[in-house]
Amino acid sequence: MLEVKNMSKRFGGIRAVDDCSFTVRKGEITALIGPNGAGKTTAFNCISRTMAPTSGEVWLDGERIDGLRPHQITRRGLSRTFQISRNLADMTVLENVICQSRTEGWRDMFRPALSEAEIAKAMGILDFLGITRIAQEDGSNLSYGQKKLMDLAALLMSDPKIILLDEPAGGVNPTLLEEIVGHIRELNAKGLTVLIVEHNMELIMRLSDRVVVMAQGTVIAEGTPEEVRADPAVLDAYLGGVLEAEE
């Protein structure tokens, strides 16, 4: 469904992403893991076109999208969250979320934004994530975890076909995380494709169908969670023998 071909991104001398290729299959949960600075976030940025890749191609559903602008990509059903959550100050959480809902054409643009239907939908999502109480709170006055959750809520608002999550579990309370995991599963079951970056290995192991491992900008391994975990290169570059301790 999503295919990244030979993508590279350089910052001056640093090759953040270096000739990286991988695919995300429809209906699967794919995890992208790798040590810090491997280029995962940069890869996300290049896919969603928040940054322009230096070279390479990105295909979504058989259509090349690396020339499009970010909003066009979003409108084609690919939504992402940010590792360091970005939220809109001076707008309530509700508005933050509704802001992400789709707008089609001129007439829709000038229709009232906070319509009953939109509010109901947004509140439903907030409720599910357990943050109803902050619906009227200013988007910038949130705790770290709350911001992450709000991001996720906003993401769901746009009815995406594929979502790119950049460390959704970071800073989220384990109890709540369980619920989120459950929900991602549920969405996935309904056909949503997920690409997720995470350092929480335990979560990755439980959640993902396939794992892509990046290091120094390139893909060094790919396969099912079990395969990847057994891969010595991955152990060396990333896990550092922690997993054994977890068990």
Partner 1 sequence: MADIIQIVVLGLALGGVYALMGSGLSLVFGVMRIVNLAHPSLIMGGAYVAYWGFRLYGVDPLIALPVAAIILAATGVLLYKLIFEREAKSAKYSEMTVLLTFAIAMIVEGGLATAFTNTQRVTSPGYATDAFFIGSVFIPKGQLYAGMVSLALIAALALFLKYSRFGYAIRATTQNREAAELMGVNVNMVGLVSFAIGIGLAGAAGALVSFVFSFFPSKHWEWVAVLMSLVVLGGMGSILGTVVAAYVLSVLAAFVGYFFGATWSVLTFYLALFVVLLVRPQGLFGEKPEMA
Partner 2 sequence: MSNIGETSDILAQRKTYNAGLSQVSDKSRATWFPLLLLALLTALPALQLVGNYNYLIHLVLYTLCYVVMASGWNILGGYAGYISLGHNVFFAVGGYFAGMVFARLGISTIIIAPIAGLVAAALGYLIGLITLRVRGPSFIISSLALVMIFRIAFENWHFVGGAAGVSLQANDMDVQWAKLPYYYAFLAMAAFALWASYRIRHSKFGLGLRAISKDEVKAESAGIDTRFYKVLACAISAFFVGMAGAVWGEYLTYIRPNIFLVILISVNMVLMCILGGKGTVAGPALGAVLIVAFNEFFVATLGASAVNIMATGVIMAVALMFFPNGIIGTLAKHRKLPRILNWD
Partner 3 sequence: MSELLEVKDIVAGYGDGPAILNGASLTVQPGKVHCIIGPNGAGKSTLLKAICGMLPVRSGNVRFKGESLAGLRPDQILQKGICFVPQERALFPKMTVRENLRMGGFSLKDQSDLERRVDEIEEQFPILKERRDQHAGTMSGGQQQTLAMARTMILRPDIVMLDEPSLGLAPKIVQQVFDIMKVMADTGITILIVEQNALLGLRNADWGLVLDLGRSLFEGPANDVLEDDRIQELYLGGKKVA
Ligand X SMILES: Nc1ncnc2c1ncn2[C@@H]1O[C@H](COP(=O)(O)OP(=O)(O)OP(=O)(O)O)[C@@H](O)[C@H]1O
Closest to partner 1 by CB, 198 vs 231, is 198
d(CA 77, CA 80): 10
| Residue 238: CA count within 13 A, CB half-sphere | 27
Q: In this structure, are strands 63-64 and 78-80 parallel, antiparallel, or unpaired?
A: unpaired
* Contact stretch for Mg ion (CB under 5 A) within 7-15, 108-116, 140-148, 226-234: 140-148
Bridge partners of 24, per DSSP, are 2
| 54 is a site residue for Mg ion (CB under 5 A) | no
Of 37, 108, 186, 206, the one binding partner 2 (CB under 8 A) is 108
User: Is 198 within 8 Å of 1 (Cβ atoms)?
Assistant: no
Closest to partner 2 by CB, 73 vs 234, is 73
| 240 is a site residue for partner 3 (CB under 8 A) | yes
Task: Return the residues of window 44-73 that contact ligand X according to CB under 6 A.
Answer: none
Question: What is the length of the chain?
Answer: 247
d(CA 167, CA 17): 18
| 145 is a site residue for ligand X (CB under 6 A) | yes
Other C-beta atoms lying within 10 Å of the C-beta of residue 237: 19
Residues near partner 2, by CB under 8 A: 48, 50, 69-72, 74-75, 79-80, 82, 86-92, 95, 98-103, 108-114, 133-137, 139, 154, 158
Residues near ligand X, by CB under 6 A: 11, 14, 16, 34, 36-42, 83, 137, 141-146, 171
